[in-house]
């Protein structure tokens, strides 16, 4: 199964992430928002995202 990752900005212009399964079911999400995209990606990688992980 290949999880897909979404890196996005929320309504406060803070960075967040979530991951979904192939069937679209949400598997996880950031527990906080981040000031920068780089901080958000670092957190997502700590939760299993790889450089070559598919993105939404």
Q: What is the pTM of this model?
A: 0.91
20: domain CATH number is: 3.30.160.160
Q: What is the pLDDT of residue 1?
A: 58
Whether residue 15 is contained in a domain is answered as yes
Whether residue 38 is contained in a domain is answered as yes
CA–CA dist 53, 26 (Å, integer): 15
Structural domain boundaries, residue 17: 4-46
- The pLDDT profile of the chain, 56 residues, written as one tens digit per residue, is 589 999 999 999 999 999 999 999 999 999 999 999 999 999 999 999 999 999 99
Q: What is the pLDDT of residue 33?
A: 98
How many domains, in total, are found in the chain?
1
How does DSSP assign 3-23, residue by residue?
-EEEEEE-TTS-EEEEEE-TT
């Amino acid at each position: 199964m290949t999880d897909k990752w979404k890196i996005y900005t929320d309504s406060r212009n803070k960075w967040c992430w979530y991951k979904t399964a192939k069937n679209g079911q949400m598997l996880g999400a950031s527990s906080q928002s981040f000031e920068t995209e780089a901080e958000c990606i670092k957190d997502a990688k700590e939760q299993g995202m790889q450089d070559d992980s598919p993105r939404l």
